[in-house]
Chains A and B, each alone.
Chain A
Amino acid sequence: MDVTELRKRYHAGERDFRDLNLRNANLNSADLIDANFSHADLEGTEFILAYLNGVNFARANLAGAKLCGANLNKSNLGGANLSDADLHGAILQGVDLRKANLSLAILIDANLIQADLRGVNLQGSDLRGACLRGANLRYERRIYEGVNLRGADLRGTDLQGVNLTGADLTRANLQGANLVETVLRGAILKQANLADSNLQSAFLTEADLSAARLIGANLRKVKLERAILTEAQLAGVALCDSILPDVKLSNANLSGADLSRTNLVRADLTRTDLSGANLTQADLTDASVARTNLRNANLSYAYLTRVEFSSATTVGVQLHGAIMPNGEIHQ
């Protein structure tokens, strides 16, 4: 079947185009609302600014297809192969993309609001400026794996409030992204770039942020229980009011960071650079500070119960009003 025949048959009222083979066709600006293309082979086909509302593309092959600006509202792309597809500025609001392959896809400025993206593969995709508010990317045991976003470009992406539990964001670029209240429980953010991102009130419980770059990020009121932040770059970061019990911050750079009122109970601060950091009213009970650099840090009114300072660098530390390891209040 060729394009003319497809258009003719669609016009005549036919909607069922299952298992269709139409590679590299030109369907720009086409109106194919509610058509059924499940299992169709549409590799490399162009759908620029096409109207594809409610279209069924389940398990279709759309590898390398051009879907820029296409309207895919309420369409079904479950299990579809969209690797290397161009979805620049496409409307994918509320779309079913479960277990779709979107590796290396272009999703710049795409509308992915409320889309179902469980178990999706977005490795190396370009999601700059895309909006994913209300999208579902949750890990579900034995049903959906964590979303694969390894090495994805998420600069300036809007992920506010999105559930990314268990997602793999290794080496992803999240610079300037909106991650306010985003759920990143148990997510892997190894070596990810989170510079200048906004993570206020985000949930990073048990997340792995080792060697992540977080300079200029907003980390106020973040939950980081048991998170791994070894070798993370956190110099000058605002972490005030965050909850970090049992956090691993060994070898991390927190020089000049604002850690006032944080909960660092049992935190691993081995070899952590906390020089010039503000730890006012921080709770460091049972924290490990072996070889920690606390030069010129401000520990006034901090709780230092059972903290063992013998190997830490404490030159110029301010301890006014702090509760010292022996339970005395420092004068």
Chain B
Amino acid sequence: MSNLSKLDEVVETLEKDANLIRIKKVMICACQGKWENNPNTLKNFAVKDLVKELYWRTQTPENLYNILDRILSKINKKSEYTLIVNTILHQVGRLYVENQSEGLNGQRVKNDSHFRQPPPFPTVEETEPPPELNAISSPSNLFDIRWRIMQYTNPLRVKLLLFSTLEREFNFADGDWSQIKLQTLDDLLRQLLQTFPSFSDLKANLTKMANYLDNPDENLQAVTVIAETLKEIYGRSGENNPGTSSEIFNQRADSINSQNIGQVSHHSNLISTEQTAVYSPLNPPLNSSENTLIIDTFLNEKLSLTQSNLVSTNLQTEELENLNNQLESQVNQLINKQIKNAIYPLDETWDKLQNILDFSCQNLPPEDCFDLKKQALQKFLNVIGFKVNELQESLNNLEATPLQSWQSVDFSQQKIMELARKGNPKAIASLINQSLESRGIHTQVKSQNGCLHIILTAEPIPDSKTTATFIHHKLIFLKIQSIQTVKIYGCQKGKKSIAWTQEYTYNELKG
């Protein structure tokens, strides 16, 4: 079979299509990168030339698919043009089948024909929208949505906003009024859900349009209501950002894609990643029992895990023994030196005192002399002993309140690092806190079943990108053992709900 006959066939089919003009527009855009609206110019383009050019430009159906997908993502009237793009994919796609392995392309074309009309393209991840998204398009479920929207905002304003977003800017002319009367709020909402497969897309587009139109304040209020109402649907479909924190945990655990949830606040606690290696002297992290309580209830409730294996804050002797050799020898050296410093003068004083006593008692009879000397030396020893007891007592106190001592007294940075590497959450928290506390971000860390939960609390919600990247770098630097996943949550101070969450697979970080 010659290639030419196939080409003619394709050209013929396309020319017969009722949407020829639109097909041409898309193909011109794909070939020349511009959007042609002039009907005369459009007429001058021959379909055959366009098909040929498109074919040579793309070479593979994947390229064709990508180019058309990109065009579709940029234009208005997505639902109409989806059909057009499908037609082109289907028709021009036939040409490739001749040249390449039958299997691959056969499958491709089959996939294409499977595209559902509304969200026609598999999204970037090539996943079809979940069935729930289509289920909500049924009017029965839309009644509740409409009811909620109507209660909190002006229905006409919502319609104007949606119309402007989906079709074209509403110009308040008679033609547009009659056009908008043909489409009920239901129709527009359904179209909206079909056009934007992701919640963030939806929100961004609506906000942009709201700011562009007159009365941005009222439009933005409408956007907020729409977003609030539709958030749940997107959340329920599991594909987008969930509305409630409890749903955060229902997300697929393997998703590394970070997701920012409804982060309206643009405050950012910017943190440069270079700071990773900078260690300031230990700041005692806020570890009041209240905070621990919050973190515990938070994790227990939201994760619904039965048991929390909060790592004991007490420093275990094993941990001390496991200090690296270098540090141990350093300490030994130091101790030896101090012993020498302390013992030597003591011996010296002892000898000196004996000599003085001998000298002063030389006139006395030997028995009296001996008694006096013994008494004086005992007195001296008692005072020394008292001092030793005092030291012993302070040592005992040191052991009795190890939490305080470990947070605030003299724990070497190295030791904390050592513990952090072993996955001690307190140590990790204090390391992160050293850099973030100064920015008003308080960090709490908890490790559970190989997952490290890091909760960041700050007055303005901490900026997800910068903080998460910062922590991510820091964790890479630490090379923590026995951790598979890292989840970072951002919270506003004083609020229990989570503003955003990011998840990383730790093994990948190490790689």
Contacts and interface: CB of A to CB of B under 8 A. Distances in A.
Contacts of A276: none
Nearest to B218: A49
A129 B145 CA distance: 12
Contacts, number: 65
B182 to A, nearest CB: 9
Contacts of A198: 140
A129 B186 contact: yes
Nearest to B139: A176
Contacts of B181: 88, 106, 108
Contacts of B359: none
B216 interface: no
Given A49-B157, A71-B154, A156-B186, A113 B140 contact: no
Given A108-B184, A111-B150, A129-B186, A91 B139 contact: no
B146 A158 contact: yes
A128 interface: yes
Given A178-B140, A198-B140, A91 B154 contact: yes
B185 A109 contact: yes
A90 interface: yes
Contacts of B140: 178, 198
A113 B151 contact: yes
B143 A111 contact: no
Given A109-B184, A156-B184, A178-B140, A90 B147 contact: no
A110 interface: yes
B146 A89 contact: no
A236 B158 CA distance: 38
Interface in A67-108: 68-69, 71, 88-91, 93, 106, 108
Contacts of A271: none
Contacts of B151: 93, 111, 113
B78 interface: no
B360 to A, nearest CB: 106
Contacts of A108: 181, 184
B442 interface: no
A131 B159 contact: no
A160 interface: yes
B284 interface: no
A128 B147 CA distance: 14
B155 A111 contact: yes
A88 B178 CA distance: 11
Contacts of A90: 155-156
A198 B143 CA distance: 11
A113 B147 contact: yes
Contacts of A160: 143
Q: Chain B CB within 10 Å — which of A69, A89, A131, A160 has the most?
A: A89
A95 B134 CA distance: 35
A89 B162 CA distance: 13
Contacts of B143: 158, 160, 178
Interface string B150-188: 110011111110000000000000000100110011100
A178 B177 CA distance: 26
Contacts of A69: 154-157, 160
Contacts of A133: 147
Given A68-B156, A89-B154, A110-B155, A158 B147 contact: yes
Dominant SS among interface residues on chain A: loop
A49 B222 CA distance: 14
A113 B140 CA distance: 18
Interface string A107-120: 01111010000000
A109 B147 contact: no
A47 to B, nearest CB: 12
A156 B151 CA distance: 17
Given A113-B150, A158-B147, A178-B140, A128 B184 contact: yes
B139 A109 contact: no
Interface in A141-187: 156, 158, 160, 176, 178
B157 A109 contact: no
B186 A131 contact: no
B156 A129 contact: no
Contact of A89 (B139, B147, B156, B186): B156
Contact of B146 (A71, A91, A93, A129): A129
A113 B153 CA distance: 13
Contacts of A176: 139
Nearest to A196: B139
Given A111-B151, A113-B147, A158-B146, A129 B157 contact: no
A228 B178 CA distance: 39
B156 A131 contact: no
Contacts of A109: 150, 155-156, 159, 184-185
A198 B140 CA distance: 8
A93 B156 CA distance: 14
Contacts of A91: 150, 154-155
A163 to B, nearest CB: 17
A156 B146 CA distance: 11
A61 B488 CA distance: 62
A19 to B, nearest CB: 30
Nearest to A110: B155
Nearest to A128: B184
Nearest to A29: B215
A214 B139 CA distance: 17
Contacts of A111: 150-151, 155
Given A89-B158, A90-B156, 4 more contacts: A69-B155, A108-B181, A111-B155, A158-B147
10 contacts: A49-B157, A68-B177, A89-B155, A90-B156, A93-B151, A108-B181, A108-B184, A109-B156, A128-B184, A178-B143
Interface of B: 139-140, 143, 146-147, 150-151, 154-160, 177, 180-181, 184-186
Question: Considering the complex of A and B, which 6 residue pairs feature the smallest CB-CB distances, nearest first?
Answer: A89-B156, A69-B156, A129-B184, A89-B155, A111-B150, A109-B185
Interface of A: 49, 68-69, 71, 88-91, 93, 106, 108-111, 113, 128-129, 131, 133, 156, 158, 160, 176, 178, 198
